[in-house]
Structure 1
Amino acid sequence: MSKRQMILGMQLGNGYGSQPMAWKAPGVGPANYTNFDAQVRYAQAAERGKFAFLFLPDFAGMSKGPEQEAPMLNLDPMMTLAAIARGTERIGLVATGSTTFNEPYNTARQFKTLDVMSHGRAGWNAVTTSDPLVAANYGQEIAPRPERYERAHETIQIAQALWGSWEKDAWIKDPATSQFADAGKIQPINLQGKHVASRGPLPIPPSEQGQPVVFQAGGGDYGLGLAGRYANAVIGATFTIEDSKAQRDAVRKAAVDAGRDPDEIKYFAGVMPAIAGSKREALDRRVALGREVFPARVPYLGAMLGLPLDVSQIDQPLTREQLEAARPSPFDPRSQRAYEVAQEGWSIRGILAHGVIDYHPTPVGTAEETADHLQEWFEAEAVDGFWVSIDVYEDGIDTFVDQVVPILQEGGLYPTDYQGTTLRDHLGVPEQYGQDPRLS
């Protein structure tokens, strides 16, 4: 039996990085917000590090004013990945596509087109949409959660049926006999659900991996139900090994409950590393990136610690009285880490530079610190891999690839090269074409 190896994906967003002020970082092109050449260059750097996939979240709206911060998600994910597909060869291309405001035929057509364009490297992160700001852009209101997930189940089933409606051996393309395709193997699907429907067929042959891989990023019982039935990968958000292990176990159980092998579904936790030559240098990097945003985060940090904190104290550590009174909030899973960092005596700015309000754990320090974090979680079987959010793409991707990846490879935890050409190969998940026949 071969040794289990870590799988890495990389978040790709607005052309700058995962930190709000990455657009101002040294060496970053301020116009990268719409620079597809930069996106391709970052994808090529990740491919050099043998990342299994790029992961593009999506938000079809603008949640805050852009006076200082660039919106994190701006360009259409499918158009972005189409550009990246032509400039890369192996790395998987995973885009988020809402099942709430897209019709299944459009979704199936776009993702299978990306899949054949990229020679079998496409993935669909199938999610529901719950934000009223997005709904307003479609002239609609947000439906109740059960209804949104009913539609999601129908949309995925119809999309997969459409993907399989052009059978694998239907494309003859024989000039000698003048036969282009076997019409008997390209048939309508005629699926009618409560919320969506499609006649079909979809006139696109299979890619090298057959059809796109389904990802899922929703939480709770509804999200687990979706993941267990259809997904081969789950994009998670968790802050402790224990919670990550519980989430991975729940995902695997959901697959079993749906009649599938639990090894068919991979769980990825997020990580937002701060890497430099020393911990002090890494903190200084994050302090510089957070100079404009940290003051506004002081009150929230206080809420995490159960303390009234004032921005005037930002460059001072908590007083002895404050440390004694501090208590991690039970309502925010990041609070325990914030409490531990505060107890080490850092200033409030220094606490924030540790990434305690970031959306995922932030190992701070040398490349070894990040590699140790990844190894600890992986060897505890809390994850199958990670989706990595780089703080500043311009230099951060190369730092991760050139410093963290070799450490993981030397320890035998991470592959030294791609073992196949398709996203299914990279994830180690089985072939599927059309709907899964095991699911009723």
Structure 2
Amino acid sequence: MTSRQMVLGMQFSGGYGAEPGAWRLPGANLNSYTDMDQFVRYAQAAERGKVQLLFIADTPVLDMDLDHQAPHHMIDPMLLLTVLARETERIGLVTTASTTFSEPYNLARQFKALDVISHGRAGWNAVTTSDPAAAANFGATIPPRAEKYERAHEVIQIVQALWGSWEKDALLLDVENKRYADMDKIQPVNLQGKHVASRGPLPIPPSEQGQPVIFQAGGGSYGLEIAGRYASGVYANPYTVEDARAQREALRDAAKRAGRDPDEVKMLAGFMPTIAASRQAALERRRFLDEVVDLHQRVRYLGAMIGLPLGPGRLDEPLTAEQLADAVPSPHDPRSARALEVARQGWTLRDVIAHGVIDYHPVVAGTAADVADHMQEWFEAGACDGFSIALDGFHDGFDAFSDQVVPILQERGLFHEDYEGSTLRDHLGAPEQYGLDPRVTKPARS
């Protein structure tokens, strides 16, 4: 039994699953995109498995070709999480909101309201926006990278200051003395930055965890600084154990530089399992999921990954011995070595792709034990503090993970048996914070 245990988050993407073809899976509710009862069932299944949090990634844009694929993002993350807050008891509720096209007061009010409604289970994934189509939805263009992150620092600091604009004992509810609250303890923040400003205060008292938890999911040196200064949870996209270790160490170093304990920041590695009774059944499921994607384009992309001119004509044939001898994994794509490894096992090109070698997270298609083995290997190698799980299909995937994978992880001492507390901070082991963190932040200029 190990004393260190995983933190697990389950991703919500669209209404059906992480794979574009999830809406077509046998047994899927075709109305899942707009059916809140379905999301409640998924959330309750994750909570049954003692998963620490649900996570909604979001970009404010329609970025899918809906001819064959379902929407990738939710109809509205905050409204969905508000529904789930009323139908769950312990699981954390985290969603993305842009610092580029959102004002601090709106962000602060919405997330703190969710935190109060959920009794201290809310988290904000604070990210910048890079998609020009999303910017166009706000009648704007994407600012230069340095400017985006300069604004992000200001937004996060003002949001946190607004969260702390009520002192913890400001709410009196004193019927006898006719005093609802102590207005001397509810004060404006009066912060003015270069890009954003807010007077405050919020009209919302503290939650059971004080205020929401900050998450981060950006890359590069700018994103690392945001994570190191403010985040308690970080979503990362490493593809190998070695890359994951390097990212985690860089994150911990960034937290140290900001004056924080690096153990306060948990890195969750993205992971895409397909869980079935056998590896063959899992591969057949993924082949079915791939029927809505452009496999001809994927074959060409696979060729670029391993240095071969591949076309769609041989989709159902394996690579020849001559091709394998000439194949070289691209040094510019960390997925390439895995792609060539699978190809060398003699699979057809269709099946190489079905193994998930082009997906944006590592894929394991197999039994619950296969999935648990991957998670154990990465976790015990120090590659992550846990995982952000992107299930291929939701309608049966949440139950399979909670009922089949979680018990294996628990038996191996890698995952807790039950929630240790009632708030998201409890689940993450995140320290108490109310308002700005005095260790790392200087308020925006007032």
Which of the five TM-score ranges fits, normalised by the shorter chain? over 0.9
CA separation of 1:376 and 1:242: change in aligned 2, threshold 3 A: same
Shift of 1:74: 3.4
Aligned counterpart, 2:391:
390
Q: Distance in 2 between matches of 1:74 and 1:155?
A: 24
| 1:62-73 mapped onto 2 (5 Å cutoff) | 62-73=62-73
Q: Could you tell me whether the CA contact under 8 Å between 2:209 and 2:425 is conserved in 1?
A: yes
* Letter of the 2:418 counterpart: D
Aligned counterpart, 1:319:
320
Aligned counterpart, 2:175:
175
Aligned counterpart, 1:346:
347
| 1:389-428 mapped onto 2 (5 Å cutoff) | 389-428=390-429
Aligned counterpart, 1:97:
97
Q: Distance in 1 between matches of 2:339 and 2:68?
A: 26
Size of the alignment, in residue pairs? 440
Shift of 1:400: 1.0
Shift of 1:2: 8.0
Shift of 1:32: 1.1
SS at match of 2:10: strand
Aligned counterpart, 1:7:
7
Aligned counterpart, 2:129:
129
Q: Distance in 1 between matches of 2:300 and 2:249?
A: 35
Q: Distance in 2 between matches of 1:317 and 1:274?
A: 23
Shift of 1:277: 1.5
Instruction: Give the stretch that moved more between structures: 209-218 or 26-35.
Output: 26-35
Aligned counterpart, 2:213:
213
Q: Distance in 2 between matches of 1:59 and 1:102?
A: 12
Shift of 1:413: 0.8
Task: Please list the CA deviations of residues 320-359 of structure 1 after superposition, one character each: whole Å capped at 9, or x if unmatched.
Answer: 1111111111121111110110111100011011100111
Task: Please list the CA deviations of residues 145-173 of structure 1 after superposition, one character each: whole Å capped at 9, or x if unmatched.
Answer: 00000000000000000000011000001
Aligned counterpart, 1:308:
309
Q: Distance in 2 between matches of 1:87 and 1:315?
A: 46
**Gapped regions of structure 1 (runs ≥ 5):** none
| 1:11-410 mapped onto 2 (5 Å cutoff) | 11-293=11-293, 294-410=295-411
* Letter of the 2:118 counterpart: S
Shift of 1:13: 1.4
SS at match of 1:297: helix
Q: Distance in 1 between matches of 2:219 and 2:239?
A: 15
Q: Distance in 2 between matches of 1:256 and 1:74?
A: 35
Q: Distance in 2 between matches of 1:315 and 1:31?
A: 34
Task: Please list the CA deviations of residues 159-204 of structure 1 after superposition, one character each: whole Å capped at 9, or x if unmatched.
Answer: 0000000110000011011011111110000000000000001121
Task: Please list the CA deviations of residues 347-400 of structure 1 after superposition, one character each: whole Å capped at 9, or x if unmatched.
Answer: 001101110011100112111111011011111111110000000100111111
Structure 1 runs of 4+ aligned residues shifted over 2 Å read none
* Letter of the 1:148 counterpart: K
Q: Distance in 2 between matches of 1:249 and 1:380?
A: 12
Task: Please list the CA deviations of residues 292-311 of structure 1 after superposition, one character each: whole Å capped at 9, or x if unmatched.
Answer: 31343111111111111111
* Letter of the 1:347 counterpart: T
Q: Could you tell me whether the CA contact under 8 Å between 2:2 and 2:414 is conserved in 1?
A: no
Shift of 1:276: 1.2
Q: Distance in 2 between matches of 1:189 and 1:63?
A: 37
Q: Could you tell me whether the CA contact under 8 Å between 2:279 and 2:365 is conserved in 1?
A: yes
* Letter of the 1:339 counterpart: L
Shift of 1:30: 1.2
Instruction: Give the stretch that moved more between structures: 183-192 or 329-338.
Output: 329-338
* Letter of the 1:6 counterpart: M
Q: Distance in 1 between matches of 2:201 and 2:274?
A: 48
* Letter of the 2:421 counterpart: G
Identical aligned residues as a percent: 63
Shift of 1:34: 1.1
Task: Please list the CA deviations of residues 199-233 of structure 1 after superposition, one character each: whole Å capped at 9, or x if unmatched.
Answer: 00112110000000000000010001101111111
Q: Could you tell me whether the CA contact under 8 Å between 2:123 and 2:214 is conserved in 1?
A: yes
Instruction: Give the stretch that moved more between structures: 308-317 or 110-119.
Output: 308-317
TM-score (structure 1 length as normaliser): 0.99
Q: Could you tell me whether the CA contact under 8 Å between 2:15 and 2:74 is conserved in 1?
A: no
SS at match of 1:290: helix
Q: Distance in 1 between matches of 2:356 and 2:188?
A: 51
SS at match of 2:94: strand
Q: Distance in 2 between matches of 1:309 and 1:31?
A: 38
Q: Distance in 2 between matches of 1:305 and 1:64?
A: 27
SS at match of 1:101: coil
Q: Distance in 2 between matches of 1:36 and 1:184?
A: 41
Q: Distance in 2 between matches of 1:30 and 1:297?
A: 26
* Letter of the 2:394 counterpart: Y
Q: Distance in 1 between matches of 2:23 and 2:37?
A: 16
* Letter of the 1:382 counterpart: A
Q: Distance in 2 between matches of 1:172 and 1:2?
A: 45
Task: Please list the CA deviations of residues 11-53 of structure 1 after superposition, one character each: whole Å capped at 9, or x if unmatched.
Answer: 0011100010100110111121111111111111111111100
CA RMSD across the alignment: 1.1
* Letter of the 1:372 counterpart: D
SS at match of 2:291: coil
SS at match of 1:33: coil
Q: Distance in 2 between matches of 1:221 and 1:438?
A: 20
SS at match of 1:86: helix
